[in-house]
């Protein structure tokens, strides 16, 4: 399968244009729009969400990942193979967290170029054709090895809010660990206790819990953590006993 991970939003032509390219180059391959509202223009925060999501999906999958505020600039177009999964996108940090959390990685720079390449839509013109060809087991496109070391000062986890879902729940870049159980989470001057799930606390109460992706998440039962707790992307979190 090919999984789309973008900050394009659900409106407008961009997702449809990319999907049309994928279907023309890899007919019969399933395409899943995994995320279309990744943190807009924020590849660093988006990288932690991508890394958490991909672990739950089959090996052999291809991820077409486009959060690319510097499209048309000097950042490289790359393919990352990590623990049996393929990732196609810009070398701007978006794929770094996948790499540092994986046991086996290989980076390649995409040398192939289409006859027509828009300076502002590499997702459609460059990344989508390569993702489709990988999904179709075609590796004849031009590339060269990218000897990229583990990113300097790129932690495998990020103690900040990286994403808000449709319900206003705040997802962090921290993976849940047993040592956090029973501890208090601090965010924006507020102290939150742990709960198993929403119905474990009274209506209107804020709490933190381990979400379905294995990440630490802040929520309010029948409320919105973003508004009720005045949280924003990049808000730092910490734990205390």
Answer yes or no: is 234 within a domain: yes
What residues make up the domain containing 73? 2-145
- Predicted pLDDT of residue 149: 63
Answer yes or no: is 152 within a domain: no
- Rounded Cα–Cα distance for residues 114 and 41 (Å): 25
Give the domain-ending residue among 93, 124, 145: 145
Answer yes or no: is 90 within a domain: yes
β-strand partners of 78: 89, 109
CATH number of the domain encompassing residue 206: 2.40.30.90
- Rounded Cα–Cα distance for residues 114 and 125 (Å): 7
Give the domain-ending residue among 115, 145, 175: 145
Q: Are 97 and 50 in contact (CB under 8 A)?
A: yes
Q: Residues in the chain with pLDDT < 50?
A: none
Helix (H, G, I), strand (E, B) or coil at 71: coil
Regarding whether 118 and 39 lie in a shared domain, the answer is yes
Regarding whether 110 and 176 lie in a shared domain, the answer is no
Global pTM value? 0.95
Q: What is the phi/psi pair of residue 85, to 5°?
A: -115, 155
Give the domain-ending residue among 80, 111, 145: 145
CA 184 to chain centre: 27
Helix (H, G, I), strand (E, B) or coil at 126: helix
Q: Are 185 and 175 in contact (CB under 8 A)?
A: no
- Predicted pLDDT of residue 148: 75
Regarding whether 58 and 6 lie in a shared domain, the answer is yes
What confidence tens digit (pLDDT) does each residue in 161-171 have?
A: 999 999 999 99
Regarding whether 88 and 13 lie in a shared domain, the answer is yes
Answer yes or no: is 221 within a domain: yes
């Amino acid at each position: 399968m090919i999984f789309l991970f973008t900050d394009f939003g659900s409106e407008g032509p961009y997702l449809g244009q990319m999907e049309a390219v994928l279907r023309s180059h890899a007919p019969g391959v399933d395409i899943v729009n995994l995320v279309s509202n990744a943190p807009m223009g924020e590849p660093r925060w988006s990288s932690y969400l991508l890394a958490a999501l991909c672990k739950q999906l089959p090996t052999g999958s291809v991820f077409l990942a486009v959060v690319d505020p510097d499209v048309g600039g000097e950042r490289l177009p790359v393919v990352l193979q990590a623990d049996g999964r393929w990732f196609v996108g810009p070398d701007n940090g978006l794929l770094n967290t996948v790499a540092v959390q994986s046991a086996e990685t290989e980076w390649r720079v995409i040398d192939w170029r289409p006859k027509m390449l828009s300076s502002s839509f590499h997702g459609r013109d460059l990344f989508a054709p390569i993702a489709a060809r990988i999904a179709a087991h075609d590796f004849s496109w031009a590339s060269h090895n990218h000897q990229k070391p583990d990113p300097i000062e790129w932690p495998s986890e990020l103690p900040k809010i990286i994403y808000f879902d449709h319900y206003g729940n705040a997802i962090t870049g921290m993976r849940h660990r047993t040592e956090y159980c029973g501890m208090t989470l601090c965010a924006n001057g507020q102290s939150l206790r742990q709960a198993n799930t929403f119905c474990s606390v009274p209506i209107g109460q804020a709490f933190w819990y381990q979400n379905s992706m294995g990440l630490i998440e802040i929520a309010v039962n029948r409320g919105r953590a973003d508004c009720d707790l005045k949280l924003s992307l990049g808000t730092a979190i910490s734990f205390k006993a």
